[in-house]
Amino acid sequence: MQGPLTGVVVLDLSRALAGPHAAQMLGDLGADVIKVEHPQGGDESRGWGPPFVGPEGDISTYFLSTNRNKRSITLDLKDPDGQAVLTRLIRQADVLIENFRTGVLDRLGFSTARLEELNPRLVVLSITGFGHDGPEGGRPGYDQIAQGEAGLMSVTGPPGQPHRAGPSIADLLAGIHGAYGVAAALYERERTGRGGVVRTSLLASVVGVHAYHGTQWTVAGQVPKANGNHHSSIAPFGAFRCSDGMIQIAAGNEGHWQKVAALLGIDPARPEYATNRDRFAHRDQLVGEMEKVLTSETRDHWLGRLADAGVPAGSIRTIDEVYAWDQTLSQGLLVEVDHPVLGPIGLPGPVLRFDHHPAGEHTAPPALGADNEAVLDWLKGKEAP
């Protein structure tokens, strides 16, 4: 891949999802990402399934989702020979990504001070579950645990029934925040000539997107609650039943509400519906009135009418429908790569596009240790006098 980060070398020592997702984002931007894995089994997500695919039924689609545009080298970091190779790689790298528990890298001989000694320009991204310090610093964390601890589950799902978000959103947000932290640190390095440590966590990444749920408590003193498929502050704004399924309607301002009311034959000036505050206070009543009309016709009927009226609305697609949708394809959100075992496969694509960098070809997630020889040869070339 060619992109804004072409020439940047990233060592991906991370496993599972948060760190690998950050590294994949940097690879999408053109960085040369070298994934460092243990010789026995590698990244544990290689064993996470179902589903597994391939002739032997042993290739994890989970792993495929977050490791494109990388090379894989196997090193035992507890072995002196593995530590020696990693030391050489660190000297040549621009970025190192790790999501070990706090203290693990220190015990392996790669403390923050040692990394700075080896390469003062190195940017280190460290992702933990709940932070590297504080009363619970170093506590192990997986996505669903973090979703619960960080309050996300309490505002997701039907009222009184905490639900996890479908995707591993705490992991993914930590990866996204980590990648943007790395980009900032690389920019700062251009000014100072020195790298540094960027830290984030699953906890921080979820709390950092609380947005209005956060200020509902910190400013208004109200504990947010789950609202199911309806907005916690705006009405009407959510999912509504039609004769053959559900659609979503988002009346984000008074103009939208006037149009929705006109379409459904509701008087928008009634006292209980006159303002958003009034509508939210009478939301259950309003939803009932709207669905009484909406269930008289199909989803397509109402989506057409709402589109003509200029009201934001949409269907609720299944994942397979998303990847068959022309709009998804037009945005480069499905990319094809040539996997050495599976052949051509489709992967969820990168979220950023740069007008001055035309879309390039992506590489498939690597087999374990597939690039051992190539990476070592590259390393020798970088070290040559």
Task: Cite the active site residues.
Answer: 171
Under a CB-based contact definition with an 8 Å cutoff, are residues 213 and 141 in contact? no
DSSP tag of 366: P
CB proximity list for 216: less than 8 A, separation 6 or greater = 222, 223, 224, 232
Q: Which two tokens stand for residue 87?
A: 């030391």
Rg over CA atoms, the chain = 25
The set of residues, in sequence order, having a beta carbon less than 8 Å from that of 287 and lying 6+ positions away, is 230, 236, 238, 240
The answer to whether the beta carbons of residues 32 and 22 sit under 8 Å apart is: no
User: Beta 9-12 vs 52-53: how paired, if at all?
Assistant: unpaired
Q: How many whole angstroms separate alpha carbon 372 and alpha carbon 136? A: 38
- Alpha-carbon dihedral sign for residues 5, 203, 158, 273: negative
Q: Position of tokens 């669905």? A: 291
| CA nearest neighbour of 71 among 44, 50, 52, 89 | 89
Residues 6+ apart with CB under 8 A from 322: 328
Dist. CA 24–CA 93, nearest whole Å = 16
Q: Are 179 and 18 in contact (CB under 8 A)?
A: no
How many Å apart are CA 218 and CA 214, to the nearest integer?
6
